[in-house]
Structure 1
Amino acid sequence: MGRSGVMQWQDWPVLDTAPGDVRLRHTALGVTHADTFLCADISHPLAVLEP
Protein backbone atom coordinates (compact mmCIF):
# COMPACT_ATOMS: atom_id res chain seq x y z
CA MET A 1 0.00 0.00 0.00
CA GLY A 2 1.08 3.54 -0.57
CA ARG A 3 1.30 6.17 -3.26
CA SER A 4 1.61 5.30 -6.94
CA GLY A 5 5.40 5.43 -6.66
CA VAL A 6 5.41 2.16 -4.72
CA MET A 7 3.82 0.23 -7.58
CA GLN A 8 6.22 -2.18 -9.19
CA TRP A 9 6.18 -5.04 -11.68
CA GLN A 10 6.51 -8.47 -10.10
CA ASP A 11 6.69 -11.93 -11.61
CA TRP A 12 4.59 -14.54 -9.84
CA PRO A 13 4.99 -18.29 -10.14
CA VAL A 14 2.29 -19.96 -12.22
CA LEU A 15 0.91 -22.92 -10.30
CA ASP A 16 -0.40 -26.04 -11.96
CA THR A 17 -4.16 -26.13 -12.31
CA ALA A 18 -6.24 -28.81 -10.62
CA PRO A 19 -9.06 -30.66 -12.39
CA GLY A 20 -11.97 -28.24 -12.85
CA ASP A 21 -9.75 -25.12 -12.49
CA VAL A 22 -9.37 -22.47 -15.18
CA ARG A 23 -6.23 -20.47 -15.95
CA LEU A 24 -6.65 -16.94 -17.32
CA ARG A 25 -3.97 -14.79 -18.91
CA HIS A 26 -4.18 -11.08 -18.17
CA THR A 27 -2.95 -8.91 -21.01
CA ALA A 28 -4.13 -5.56 -19.65
CA LEU A 29 -5.36 -4.03 -16.45
CA GLY A 30 -6.82 -0.78 -15.30
CA VAL A 31 -6.37 1.43 -12.27
CA THR A 32 -9.34 3.57 -11.29
CA HIS A 33 -9.62 6.62 -9.09
CA ALA A 34 -11.06 4.37 -6.37
CA ASP A 35 -7.88 2.24 -6.52
CA THR A 36 -5.70 5.30 -6.03
CA PHE A 37 -7.83 6.43 -3.07
CA LEU A 38 -7.44 2.99 -1.49
CA CYS A 39 -3.67 2.92 -2.02
CA ALA A 40 -3.28 6.42 -0.58
CA ASP A 41 -5.54 5.48 2.40
CA ILE A 42 -8.02 8.22 1.45
CA SER A 43 -11.76 7.76 1.94
CA HIS A 44 -13.70 7.59 -1.31
CA PRO A 45 -15.62 10.87 -1.74
CA LEU A 46 -18.86 9.05 -2.61
CA ALA A 47 -20.71 6.60 -0.42
CA VAL A 48 -20.50 3.05 -1.74
CA LEU A 49 -23.56 0.94 -1.00
CA GLU A 50 -23.40 -2.76 -0.27
CA PRO A 51 -25.02 -4.85 -3.03
Structure 2
Amino acid sequence: MQDLDDLHRPNAWIETAQERLDELDDQLRASGWRRRPVAGRHWWSRTYVAG
Protein backbone atom coordinates (compact mmCIF):
# COMPACT_ATOMS: atom_id res chain seq x y z
CA MET A 1 0.00 0.00 0.00
CA GLN A 2 1.33 3.41 -0.94
CA ASP A 3 1.29 6.40 1.39
CA LEU A 4 -0.56 9.20 -0.44
CA ASP A 5 1.27 11.80 1.66
CA ASP A 6 4.65 10.59 0.38
CA LEU A 7 5.56 13.27 -2.17
CA HIS A 8 8.98 11.84 -2.98
CA ARG A 9 9.99 9.81 -6.00
CA PRO A 10 9.49 7.14 -7.24
CA ASN A 11 5.83 8.09 -6.85
CA ALA A 12 5.54 9.02 -10.53
CA TRP A 13 1.79 9.58 -10.25
CA ILE A 14 2.18 12.38 -7.71
CA GLU A 15 2.98 15.10 -10.26
CA THR A 16 -0.06 14.19 -12.34
CA ALA A 17 -2.28 14.16 -9.27
CA GLN A 18 -1.02 17.59 -8.20
CA GLU A 19 -1.60 18.97 -11.71
CA ARG A 20 -5.19 17.65 -11.75
CA LEU A 21 -5.81 19.11 -8.30
CA ASP A 22 -4.55 22.50 -9.50
CA GLU A 23 -6.82 22.27 -12.56
CA LEU A 24 -9.80 21.53 -10.34
CA ASP A 25 -8.81 24.41 -8.06
CA ASP A 26 -8.72 26.77 -11.08
CA GLN A 27 -12.17 25.59 -12.21
CA LEU A 28 -13.70 26.01 -8.76
CA ARG A 29 -12.27 29.50 -8.29
CA ALA A 30 -13.41 30.51 -11.79
CA SER A 31 -16.91 29.38 -10.77
CA GLY A 32 -16.91 31.68 -7.75
CA TRP A 33 -15.63 29.39 -5.00
CA ARG A 34 -13.01 30.69 -2.60
CA ARG A 35 -10.34 28.48 -1.12
CA ARG A 36 -10.13 28.63 2.65
CA PRO A 37 -6.72 29.80 3.91
CA VAL A 38 -6.21 26.69 6.03
CA ALA A 39 -5.83 23.44 4.16
CA GLY A 40 -6.90 20.11 5.53
CA ARG A 41 -4.72 17.37 6.91
CA HIS A 42 -3.33 16.20 3.56
CA TRP A 43 -1.83 17.98 0.53
CA TRP A 44 -5.03 17.26 -1.43
CA SER A 45 -7.33 18.44 1.38
CA ARG A 46 -8.27 21.86 0.11
CA THR A 47 -11.49 23.33 1.41
CA TYR A 48 -13.69 25.94 -0.25
CA VAL A 49 -16.61 28.20 0.49
CA ALA A 50 -19.17 29.43 -2.00
CA GLY A 51 -18.32 32.93 -3.15
TM bracket (short chain): under 0.3
Larger RCO: 1 or 2 (CA < 8 Å, sep 6+)? 1
Larger radius of gyration: 1
Richer in strand (by share): 2
Richer in helix (by share): 2
**TM-score, structure 1 normalization:** 0.27
**TM-score, structure 2 normalization:** 0.27
